[in-house]
Structure 1
Amino acid sequence: MSHLIHQWKSIRLEEEQVTLPNGKTITHTNIQHPGAAVILPITPDGHIVLVDQYRPSLKKWLLELPAGTLEPNECPLTCAKRELEEETGYVASEFIALGQVTPLAGFCDEIQHLFVARGASKDSECNLDDDEVINVSVRTLTDIQHAIVNNELTDAKTIACLSKAQLCGYL
């Protein structure tokens, strides 16, 4: 049985007794997260759409791929399409699922679903949540790789999605 410590939106902080595979019982604190979609939007000319988003927890801007939390009972693809348009104003002609990553497995059950969005083009204005401050940035893969090497792009989900897309032959 778990004990709710705190809830914010659809994210819950809970504590529970867990018996480990070695038989030892511990008190484990876990963040329950509904999951997220991470989108790698590629324009017809091969550029990549990123967001430069202010992250209050770090008190700084982070360059990252568009992403967002799944709504209740929402499938990851629907979330990916919605978040791409809301955060960037872009839509894509094709979405390809790349699989999943588990970003914080030591204390959070979040699963991030990765997508390549081909044929990304500007369709509308951004429709941001009240707590989102975002600037859209369109860059070449080479520029993004340099930003990673130079620690200008440090967002783990972005680096993971780019790596998986390269390994799968989409970049």
Structure 2
Amino acid sequence: MSHTVLHRWKNIQLAEIDVALPNGKSIRHTTIIHPGAAVILPITEDGKILLLRQFRPSLNKWILELPAGTIETNEAPIDCAMRELIEETGYGAKRFEPLGQCSPLAGFCDEIQHLFVATDLYPNHSLSLDDDEIIDVIKVSLSEIENWIRNDEITDGKTIACLSKAKLCGFLTE
């Protein structure tokens, strides 16, 4: 598949790609080429969930979301999940269960988000944040999170998707 890179930022590209459609037509499509991400649902021993209150410059506001991060070059999704959990929450986990994948922006981005549940958490170290990350870690119950989703206090798609998948797979009960 040939493509022309229009812009690069970190390891993300805005590109025009040639695509052969299932109906036999060929088109030039503008898309974001993304290396993928890991989304982590950290569950504490007492059944609480570690959630981030993070300032997002793209939205120019604070949002509530699960820990997540972009996969680095030659990094496996599970390794990204382990790294991001430590960097963004200060906790490691002895167990990671894969929940599958999510395609958050299929209309204009090829990003695949790999969803994980992390349990048997242990304190690892203080947060190790990127220059553009401002994060507060909070511990909340599933019922609080569900109320925040219902009331539009949580609108982050990856968070809603990961929580929904975890609940459907039996990892969350309350």
Listed one character per residue, the Cα deviations across residues 96-127 of structure 1 (whole Å, up to 9, x for unaligned) are: 01111111111111000000001223321000
Could you tell me how far apart the structure 2 residues matched to 1:10 and 1:133 are? 21
TM-superposed CA distance for 1:93, in Å, is 1.6
Letter in 1 for 2:39: V
Could you tell me how far apart the structure 2 residues matched to 1:119 and 1:16 are? 43
User: Where does residue 78 of structure 1 map in the other structure?
Assistant: 79
Query: Equivalent residue of 2:32, what SS?
Result: strand
Moved over 3 A (4+): none
User: Where does residue 119 of structure 1 map in the other structure?
Assistant: 120
2:31 is the alignment partner of 1:3: no
Could you tell me how far apart the structure 1 residues matched to 2:73 and 2:17 are? 23
2:138 is the alignment partner of 1:140: no
Aligned residue pairs total 171
TM-superposed CA distance for 1:16, in Å, is 2.3
Letter in 2 for 1:166: K
Listed one character per residue, the Cα deviations across residues 68-119 of structure 1 (whole Å, up to 9, x for unaligned) are: 0001010011100000000010111211011111111111110000000012
Could you tell me how far apart the structure 2 residues matched to 1:32 and 1:6 are? 10
User: Where does residue 97 of structure 2 map in the other structure?
Assistant: 96
Give the TM-score normalised by the residue count of structure 2.
0.95
Could you tell me how far apart the structure 2 residues matched to 1:23 and 1:75 are? 34
Letter in 1 for 2:105: L
Letter in 1 for 2:102: V
Could you tell me how far apart the structure 2 residues matched to 1:120 and 1:17 are? 45
Q: How is 1:1-171 mapped onto 2 (pairs within 5 angstroms)? A: 1-171=2-172
Could you tell me how far apart the structure 2 residues matched to 1:67 and 1:121 are? 18
Query: Equivalent residue of 2:164, what SS?
Result: helix
Could you tell me how far apart the structure 2 residues matched to 1:58 and 1:146 are? 22
Listed one character per residue, the Cα deviations across residues 25-45 of structure 1 (whole Å, up to 9, x for unaligned) are: 322001000000000000001
Listed one character per residue, the Cα deviations across residues 1-60 of structure 1 (whole Å, up to 9, x for unaligned) are: 211100000000000232311222322001000000000000001000011111111111
Letter in 2 for 1:39: I
